[in-house]
Amino acid sequence: MYNFFKYGLFRPVVAWLFRAKLVGGENVPATGGAIIAANHIAVGETYVVPAMLTRPLVYPAKAELFKGDRGPGSAIVAWFLKSVGMVPLDRSGGRVSLAGLEPVLDALKAGGLVGIYPEGTRSPDGRLYKGRTGVARMALAAGVPIIPVGVSGTETVKKLGFLPWIDRPVVTVGRPLDFSAYAGLHDDRATLRWITDEVMAAIQDITGQTYVDAYGSSVKSGAMSRAEADARVLSRPGLGATPPALPGGELS
């Protein structure tokens, strides 16, 4: 069903009608598990990125969406998620634990590609916001590289005055980042934060976005004002942070 939806619907629309472009596709390894970590500026990324990549890409989705117990609409969503091989993410305990990540880790260890938006939400203003450390936790626990991806042009525009459209989006794939030297430190907060900031810096290198050292969800919820967010602009994620010591006491 994944290939049916990808090649029968999404790829023709994205590649031919939206005229999307893929840059650096060779940076995605032909085999083996890996995390695709991308910026998130619009809903379009959820189908533009997998449509343009050669290998199947799955996204973690909230575990409750797989139940389909909230009426016909939720049943259809649950059927679709299961049909295309998406994986459930259990956040019932708040912060994602390794137990809640088990289906995602299984997919990675089985050699699959898993897509993650480290910001955790769409950018409220097009800037790049602080990444959540779940991406680092997944990579270290599964022993897989993180591939930074920068996406642009996925915002919806109006075509012919009324038709929602995406005009020439670009998906740029960076070189894989290998953090295997930190294997076993998936619960060390300093290590997870440093790795996440390195991933966000790699995404910023691709997109050229202004970086705000605050969570995008804080701005979207109103907990942080635009002026407060402006005061947290940095030239680079993790600016000034010292790389954590490698297991055994050596610095990276």
Distance separating alpha carbons of residues 236 and 239, to the nearest angstrom: 5
Stretch among 37-46, 83-92, 173-182 having the lowest mean pLDDT: 83-92
| pLDDT at 43 (0 to 100) | 86
**Percentage, residues of the chain above pLDDT 90:** 60
Distance separating alpha carbons of residues 137 and 143, to the nearest angstrom: 10
User: Which neighbouring-strand residues pair with 115?
Assistant: 36
Distance separating alpha carbons of residues 120 and 32, to the nearest angstrom: 25
Relative orientation angle of helices 134-142 and 102-109, to the nearest 10 degrees = 50
Decide if 249 is inside a domain: no
Decide if 158 is inside a domain: yes
Q: Encoding tokens for residue 224?
A: 């942080």
The whole-number average pLDDT for the span 160-186 is: 89
Residue 152 has pLDDT above 90, yes or no: yes
Decide if 215 is inside a domain: yes
pLDDT tens across 126-137, in order? 999 999 999 999
Distance separating alpha carbons of residues 129 and 48, to the nearest angstrom: 21
Decide if 30 is inside a domain: yes
| pLDDT at 4 (0 to 100) | 78
> Which of 149 and 162 is assigned the larger pLDDT?
149
| pLDDT at 240 (0 to 100) | 82
What does the DSSP 8-state code read for residue 206? H
pLDDT-derived band of residue 197, with 50, 70 and 90 as boundaries? very high
| pLDDT at 101 (0 to 100) | 78
The domain of 186 spans 2-234
What does the DSSP 8-state code read for residue 181? G
| pLDDT at 93 (0 to 100) | 45
How many other C-beta atoms can be found within 10 angstroms of the C-beta atom of residue 18? 19
Beta pairing class for 57-58 and 146-152: unpaired
Decide if 106 is inside a domain: yes
How many domains does one find in the chain?
1
Q: List the one residue out of 208, 201, 207, 203 whose CA is nearest residue 236.
A: 201
Residue 72 has pLDDT above 90, yes or no: no
Distance separating alpha carbons of residues 109 and 81, to the nearest angstrom: 20
The CATH number linked to 20 is 3.40.1130
Residue 195 has pLDDT above 90, yes or no: yes
Q: Where do the H-state alpha helices sit in the chain?
A: 2-5, 11, 45-52, 72-83, 102-109, 134-142, 189-207, 216-221, 226-230
Decide if 167 is inside a domain: yes
Stretch among 25-34, 72-81, 213-222 having the lowest mean pLDDT: 72-81
- Angle in degrees, CA 73, 76, 168, rounded to 5: 95
Residue 193 has pLDDT above 50, yes or no: yes
pLDDT tens across 213-235, in order? 999 999 999 999 999 999 999 99
| pLDDT at 147 (0 to 100) | 98
Phi, psi of 205 (to 5 degrees): -60, -35
Decide if 190 is inside a domain: yes
pLDDT tens across 83-118, in order? 766 777 765 544 555 666 788 898 999 999 999 999
Decide if 45 is inside a domain: yes
